Structure 1
Amino acid sequence: MFNFFKLKNSIKKLKNSNSISWNVLSGPILLLMILSMMVLPLPPWILDLFFTFNIVLSIIIILVSMFNTTTLNFSSFPTVLLFSTLLRLGLNVASTRIILLEGHTGSGSAGNVIQSFGHFLVGGNFAIGMIVFVILVVINFMVITKGAGRVAEVGARFALDGMPGKQMAIDADLNAGLIGEAEAKKRRLEVACEADFYGSMDGASKFVRGDAIAGILIMIINIIGGLVVGVVQHGLSVKEAAEVYTLLTIGDGLVAQIPALVISTAAGVIVTRVTTKKNVGEQMISELFNNPQVILLSGLVLGILGLVPGMPNLVFLCFTGFLFLLSYYLYSTNINQSHFSFYEQFRKSKESFYLKEVSWDDVRLEDPIGIELGSSLIYIVDESKRNNLLIKIRGIRKKIAQKIGFLPPIVHIQNNHNLPNSCYKIFLKGIKIVKEYAFYDKLLAINTGNVKDILTEKIVKEPIFGMPACWIDHSLRIKAKNRGYSIIDPVSLVATHLNYIIKKNLHELFGRQEAQKLLDRVSKVAPKLVEEFIPNIITLTSFHKILKNLLVENVPIRDIITIIETIIENVNVQNNVKELTSYIRISLRKSILQRICKDEKNIQIRVLDIKLENILLQSIHPDSYIIEPGLADYLIKDLTRSILDKKIMSKNVILVVKHSLRSFLSNFLRPYFEDINVLSQLEIGDQKNIQIIDIIGSNLNKKK
């Protein structure tokens, strides 16, 4: 009783569900129909319906494969191939049953479809029918299916081999801020689906090959079985039995093999197509009949053959004339398009150079950031390509805006014909910062220290950090990865170099205009806070200098509200820009420590010896960064010694000094130690997990 009520409730839920549709149940229903055909005897008219459905299904499959622009648009094709093969085999079993049971009654005993294919298509001659059937099977088995299977096998291998590289490219774009998490998940799913599709196609092609072999065996069994049944059971003569049963068998084989040939062709189209924005028909026509020279030469060759005696001259010469007309039409179309394009360019150039008066718009201002590219590198800014420099630069600017707190200026890119082909330059306010080389058609293999075997003797320096590297062809990518090299393409190289330059010069790129735009942005979030901030509390010039001081020491200005509130609270006590910057650093101490130490549990620091601190306090001038040469030399040498000795122990170089010394020592030491972080004791605060790993200047007395 319990099971009855449970079943009743399930049926009720199924009726009430809006998510169940006919396409959800189509697969199980089709499978049940195929099994029914194999087990239950079917009347001839139902068999006609199924054979017609099989033909229609094969036509739909090949049309879908022709009109799709990508293989993943028909990702269910391997499963469709399996079901269509099972459908044909089920029809073969059902037709074999009815042929052997009712074949003695005449050629129409197995239905009109089999009768039509057995009489109309082969003229009622079973010998011709058998030959046509064998030819169709050979074409399907030896040519189409074998070729499609080989292409699917190679495609599956390359898809699987390329998966790690595609996944790394997606991760790189995600880390660079070019795409979001949702887009990254979508791309990863596409890569996985592509690999699954080609892997499935590699196995699904065996269904068609097995179907072709089964068709030959079924034909032989039907002919032999028909002769035995007709002669022994129904008393037909050998000639009558051979004529009736063989024609029915040939008709049955043809009505199954023609859809099989169509579906095999669809499989070949799916695995051999190259993914473009066009379908297969548009792609073939646009590439075959696009060059007038090729059409003209083809017409000349055909015309010469048409003049040879004994050849079908009229047909050949008619096609020659058609090809000449087509070549003339294509040539005229291309000429008109080129003339129109030249006219448009000339018209625009006249407007820009002759019709316009000279104005202040012709004055060229220096770009904050600029890139000049050699001739061969201009292709890295091609917007039609998925991996181009413009997309990566947008990602760099977006990531800096999110992490640092202001939007860097637009990067101006131009082609410089005077540069070597593979050279690029990066400019900062018109000043050349770097000049390096990147080869567009190659990859840079970087030796990060884990290389097992050297790939080539032609070693160059990686342009950003100076690590040993070499330029390799794309064919050596997998080999280089296996040996431990880190691979980077030229687009990513230029983008990474630009990102490095921007991060090192953020304070140079942050101008008064950026400061004003930042205030405008804050006014939308906290209008009351900035209502009288400029100029009543502080001038825009002083505010700009404070933010630049923070950026010089790589302190993000994202928490701009805290910065403004700190200025408002302390401006009456101290209106000096340097001192206000120190107050802001104390307010931002937690974020500064988090940026430096990240997730480290212990903060490992270096401190100055008390005597050295006192000497420095007595010798430096408050408003200058001058220090006695001998003392400066000693400080640099001892700090260098400490960094080298404690390199393994401490990842980050943190020097904690008195608050009054912090600004001076930070500016003094930064040119010598690029990654040093000079913090004051007030910025450390009440942190409990501090570990002093070295005291700078502890041997000062010993030296004396």
Structure 2
Amino acid sequence: MARLAALPAAMTLPAGIFALLALMVLPIPALLLDIFFVLNIAISIAVLMVALNARRPLDFSSFPSVLLFATLLRLALNVASTRVVLVNGHEGGAAAGEVIESFAAFLVGGNFVVGLFVFAILMIINMIVITKGAGRVSEVSARFVLDALPGKQMAIDADIAAGLVTADEARERRRDVSVEADFYGSMDGASKFVKGDAIAALLILGVNIIAGFAIGMASHGLSAAEAGEAYVTLAVGDALVAQVPSLLLSIAAAAIVTRVSDQRDLAGQIGGQFADPRGWLPVAMILGAVGVVPAMPQMIFLPGAAIAAAIWWQLKRRAAAPEPVIEEVEEVAPDHIALADVSDATLVTIELGYGLVGLVDAAQGAPLITRITGIRKQLSRDLGFVLPQFRIRDSLDLGAQDYAVLMGGISVARGNLRPGKLLAIDAGDVRSGPNGYGGLTGEATRDPSFDCPALWIAPAARDHAIAEGFLVVDPSTVIATHANQALLAEAHQLLGPDEVREWVDGLKSRAPALVEAVTPDPLPLAALTRTLRALVADGIGLAHPQPLFTSLALALQKTADFDAVIDAVRADMGARLTARIAQPGEALKVVTLDAGLEGAILGGMVDPATGQPLIEPDCGAMIVREINGIADAEGGPIALIVQPPARRALAALLKPRAPRCLVLSIAELPAAQPIAVVGVIGAADEAPALSAPHMQEMAA
């Protein structure tokens, strides 16, 4: 029904275009022609009023299209009226319609010579003054708007990254910027319609005059004077009928392109700016001085001076009167402190020293903002939930070239940069040279993200560094990569009840029964948030919610214990864990603990609060040292396979100290996963022994 109701409105414009074509081709009676002339004048006045009442140019964004159709209507009427004048002009003025006859008789007094001069003056005003000026303004405005378009887009991105606007507000601002560019570009071309219409009116008038003389004298036997009186008068009336709406549309176009965005319409804007009483007193004094000159018409100047003085007096009284109090605002005490003054709602903040502020300068392209927006999108895609907006700000507490990544007000990463230089990172592919850096010179440092050897080099040495095998990045990429690594390690802290609710709502639209099996019973929102945070901390992202929720639902059918549920989900999704460090079909590089060492850990002290085994400091240091040594020798990530009761304690030990080692329990190792045992911790010369039958089968 809605589509059927919208059909007549959708057919209005095509029907109007076909009507214009009919006006140009088919003969129409004089009465219908009069109706169309009145309609043309009414449309022109309506367009002018809309242009004057618009608060900003974009409020009348359809003006270029309206101008096109109004011009087509006027040209179609010129063609139709030309046909009527040339066919029926010998019968008298009424034969061409009452509108043309009235313009020819009343406006120019029936004298076609006067009409020609009036038409010429209107043409000069329209083409030379209004249309040419409006066209120049449109051209300059379009050029400035298009030149400023990249800067406006980057400013919107900067506001998003700083958390000043929401995604919907940014989307609306981008739409306004795009519409503004399209509008001024269209206006630059649409102003040519008015100029072309004026030229066409002049040519049509010439055709009517010449053809009128020829038809009147050749076809109807009129003398030259009679033909001029009959045809030229009607031709001038026809030209004036078309020129008046054309002039109105030219004024509307000029008013639109010369507008400045304001909260008021054009009348209110001009009236507000002329409401200053200081401008009217000089007007009254000058008019009065001119009026007392004996040769001047005193009966005109002196009343004008009196009116200007009265306006000055009224505006002065209005300015001196106190403004009405609309609403009383409670005055805030000096010692009052609001919650917004002491709290920071932004979860992730990137602080820059004053020497790095240029990285977010829109005039320099704001490279850091683009990078930060990119890592936020990538992290959201990898983790499976939308990360809250990041904020970038300067900090006087940092060194000039320092930066810090804060999560919840706590620093999770810090670094030092050299603005204006590039970081050449030795990722292991650099050819050896005299100074150990492939022959490249620069300030030695370490890559803050992966702790690789690196050099700060001049931008001119970029190609040389790449040729030597270095990975070359700019300072903004260094910050973005470091922030990405730091936030990925603490990603579970970014997941809150709001993010979980949004994530569950998205899954509910696809699998409502699966969601009902988990939440709100047996897991309410708070318990579900705790569970999902634990899984994210263990490296299980939420990007694929359906299999994860299925595993969670199955685990909840067996037990309600939190740790047992996490272990069950990890065991069910073991393939996803091993896929983080082993490609499909590739053998998983495995490290095990010596049976005696693992037994000592499980049989040793236990934390009374968590029930987890406690690892002695010397033993823990030895395990970390051995694990890192094996990872260095293998040149990539490895997995430590342990008994399920020991997994949590060893994972807590190794996660911050050996990030290249993934701790898995035997139950979490997929049955089809090929393995390659690369080391045994605690027994240097013993062959690896995997105590579980499952592991023995996998080794075979």
Which TM-score band applies after superposition, normalised by the shorter structure? 0.5 to 0.7
In the superposition, relative to structure 1, how do residues 45 and 691 fare at CA in structure 2: closer, same or farther (>3 Å)?
farther
**Where does residue 209 of structure 2 map in the other structure?**
223
Which residue identity does 2:314 align to in structure 1? L
Listed one character per residue, the Cα deviations across residues 316-359 of structure 1 (whole Å, up to 9, x for unaligned) are 452343145235425646x445xx66x5232x649979xxxxxx
Which residue identity does 1:315 align to in structure 2? G
Matches within 5 A, 1:321-332: 321-326=310-315, 328-329=317-318, 332=321
Match status 1:602 vs 2:584:
yes
**Where does residue 651 of structure 2 map in the other structure?**
666
Match status 1:135 vs 2:121:
yes
**Where does residue 106 of structure 1 map in the other structure?**
92
Query: Is the 1:299–1:321 Cα contact (8 Å) retained in structure 2?
Result: no
Matches within 5 A, 1:1-12: none
Look up the SS of the partner of 1:329 in the other structure.
Answer: helix
1:302 to 283, 300, 306: 283
Which residue identity does 2:638 align to in structure 1? L
In the superposition, relative to structure 1, how do residues 127 and 524 fare at CA in structure 2: closer, same or farther (>3 Å)?
same
- The separation in 1 between residues aligned to 2:196 and 2:89, in whole angstroms, is 27
Match status 1:82 vs 2:79:
no
TM-score by length of 1: 0.61
Match status 1:251 vs 2:242:
no
- The separation in 2 between residues aligned to 1:236 and 1:516, in whole angstroms, is 90
Structure 2, unpaired ranges of 5+: 361-368, 425-446, 458-471, 605-612, 686-700
- The separation in 1 between residues aligned to 2:475 and 2:265, in whole angstroms, is 34
Query: Is the 1:605–1:654 Cα contact (8 Å) retained in structure 2?
Result: no
CA drift at 1:254: 1.1
Match status 1:261 vs 2:244:
no
**Superposition CA RMSD, Å:** 6.5
Which residue identity does 1:670 align to in structure 2? K
Which residue identity does 1:126 align to in structure 2? F
Matches within 5 A, 1:177-196: none
Which residue identity does 1:283 align to in structure 2? D
Look up the SS of the partner of 2:330 in the other structure.
Answer: helix
**Where does residue 639 of structure 1 map in the other structure?**
631
**Where does residue 44 of structure 2 map in the other structure?**
58
Listed one character per residue, the Cα deviations across residues 578-602 of structure 1 (whole Å, up to 9, x for unaligned) are x7754442134355467x48xx962
In the superposition, relative to structure 1, how do residues 298 and 193 fare at CA in structure 2: closer, same or farther (>3 Å)?
closer
In the superposition, relative to structure 1, how do residues 672 and 630 fare at CA in structure 2: closer, same or farther (>3 Å)?
closer
Structure 1, unpaired ranges of 5+: 1-16, 354-360, 381-388, 438-443, 450-461, 470-483, 535-539, 644-652
Look up the SS of the partner of 1:670 in the other structure.
Answer: helix
Listed one character per residue, the Cα deviations across residues 87-117 of structure 1 (whole Å, up to 9, x for unaligned) are 2222222222332333344333322111221
In the superposition, relative to structure 1, how do residues 241 and 411 fare at CA in structure 2: closer, same or farther (>3 Å)?
closer
Query: Is the 1:34–1:86 Cα contact (8 Å) retained in structure 2?
Result: yes
CA drift at 1:253: 0.8
- The separation in 2 between residues aligned to 1:189 and 1:414, in whole angstroms, is 27
- The separation in 1 between residues aligned to 2:69 and 2:307, in whole angstroms, is 46
Listed one character per residue, the Cα deviations across residues 260-294 of structure 1 (whole Å, up to 9, x for unaligned) are 22233334455555677x5xxx33345444469x7
- The separation in 2 between residues aligned to 1:97 and 1:623, in whole angstroms, is 104
**Where does residue 574 of structure 2 map in the other structure?**
589
1:656 to 635, 639, 642: 639
In the superposition, relative to structure 1, how do residues 303 and 217 fare at CA in structure 2: closer, same or farther (>3 Å)?
same
CA drift at 1:248: 1.9
Which residue identity does 2:584 align to in structure 1? N
CA drift at 1:257: 1.2
CA drift at 1:255: 0.5
Query: Is the 2:104–2:110 Cα contact (8 Å) retained in structure 1?
Result: yes
- The separation in 1 between residues aligned to 2:174 and 2:315, in whole angstroms, is 45
- The separation in 2 between residues aligned to 1:158 and 1:486, in whole angstroms, is 31
Query: Is the 2:194–2:250 Cα contact (8 Å) retained in structure 1?
Result: yes
**Where does residue 266 of structure 2 map in the other structure?**
284
Listed one character per residue, the Cα deviations across residues 341-380 of structure 1 (whole Å, up to 9, x for unaligned) are 6x5232x649979xxxxxxx99x99989597999x99xx9
1:624 to 590, 612, 615: 615
In the superposition, relative to structure 1, how do residues 487 and 126 fare at CA in structure 2: closer, same or farther (>3 Å)?
farther
Look up the SS of the partner of 2:639 in the other structure.
Answer: strand
- The separation in 2 between residues aligned to 1:642 and 1:329, in whole angstroms, is 86
Look up the SS of the partner of 1:658 in the other structure.
Answer: strand
Look up the SS of the partner of 2:614 in the other structure.
Answer: coil
In the superposition, relative to structure 1, how do residues 321 and 639 fare at CA in structure 2: closer, same or farther (>3 Å)?
farther
CA drift at 1:127: 3.6
TM-score by length of 2: 0.61
In the superposition, relative to structure 1, how do residues 424 and 275 fare at CA in structure 2: closer, same or farther (>3 Å)?
farther
Matches within 5 A, 1:303-342: 303-309=284-290, 312-326=301-315, 328-329=317-318, 332=321, 335-337=323-325
CA drift at 1:165: 8.7
Look up the SS of the partner of 1:624 in the other structure.
Answer: coil
- The separation in 1 between residues aligned to 2:243 and 2:217, in whole angstroms, is 28
Which residue identity does 1:636 align to in structure 2? N
CA drift at 1:213: 0.5
Which residue identity does 1:623 align to in structure 2? L
Which residue identity does 2:116 align to in structure 1? M
Matches within 5 A, 1:162-241: 200-231=186-217, 233-234=219-220, 236-241=222-227
Which residue identity does 1:553 align to in structure 2? D
- The separation in 2 between residues aligned to 1:517 and 1:102, in whole angstroms, is 75
- The separation in 1 between residues aligned to 2:391 and 2:496, in whole angstroms, is 17
- The separation in 2 between residues aligned to 1:244 and 1:298, in whole angstroms, is 53
CA drift at 1:687: 4.2
**Where does residue 477 of structure 1 map in the other structure?**
none
In the superposition, relative to structure 1, how do residues 601 and 465 fare at CA in structure 2: closer, same or farther (>3 Å)?
closer
Report how many aligned residue pairs link the two structures: 586
- The separation in 2 between residues aligned to 1:188 and 1:41, in whole angstroms, is 49
Query: Is the 1:401–1:407 Cα contact (8 Å) retained in structure 2?
Result: no
Query: Is the 1:603–1:691 Cα contact (8 Å) retained in structure 2?
Result: no
- The separation in 2 between residues aligned to 1:71 and 1:413, in whole angstroms, is 34
Matches within 5 A, 1:522-561: 549-556=534-541, 559=548
In the superposition, relative to structure 1, how do residues 350 and 255 fare at CA in structure 2: closer, same or farther (>3 Å)?
same
**Where does residue 464 of structure 2 map in the other structure?**
none
Match status 1:115 vs 2:101:
yes
Look up the SS of the partner of 2:589 in the other structure.
Answer: strand
- The separation in 2 between residues aligned to 1:418 and 1:667, in whole angstroms, is 32
- The separation in 1 between residues aligned to 2:655 and 2:258, in whole angstroms, is 59
Query: Is the 1:148–1:268 Cα contact (8 Å) retained in structure 2?
Result: yes
Match status 1:566 vs 2:551:
no
Query: Is the 1:657–1:681 Cα contact (8 Å) retained in structure 2?
Result: no
**Where does residue 47 of structure 1 map in the other structure?**
33
Which residue identity does 1:585 align to in structure 2? R
Matches within 5 A, 1:344-423: 344-346=329-331, 349=333
- The separation in 2 between residues aligned to 1:58 and 1:677, in whole angstroms, is 75
Look up the SS of the partner of 1:345 in the other structure.
Answer: coil
Listed one character per residue, the Cα deviations across residues 655-684 of structure 1 (whole Å, up to 9, x for unaligned) are 222133654553333324657644445434
Listed one character per residue, the Cα deviations across residues 45-98 of structure 1 (whole Å, up to 9, x for unaligned) are 222122112212222333444556677776654444333323222222222233
- The separation in 1 between residues aligned to 2:450 and 2:491, in whole angstroms, is 19
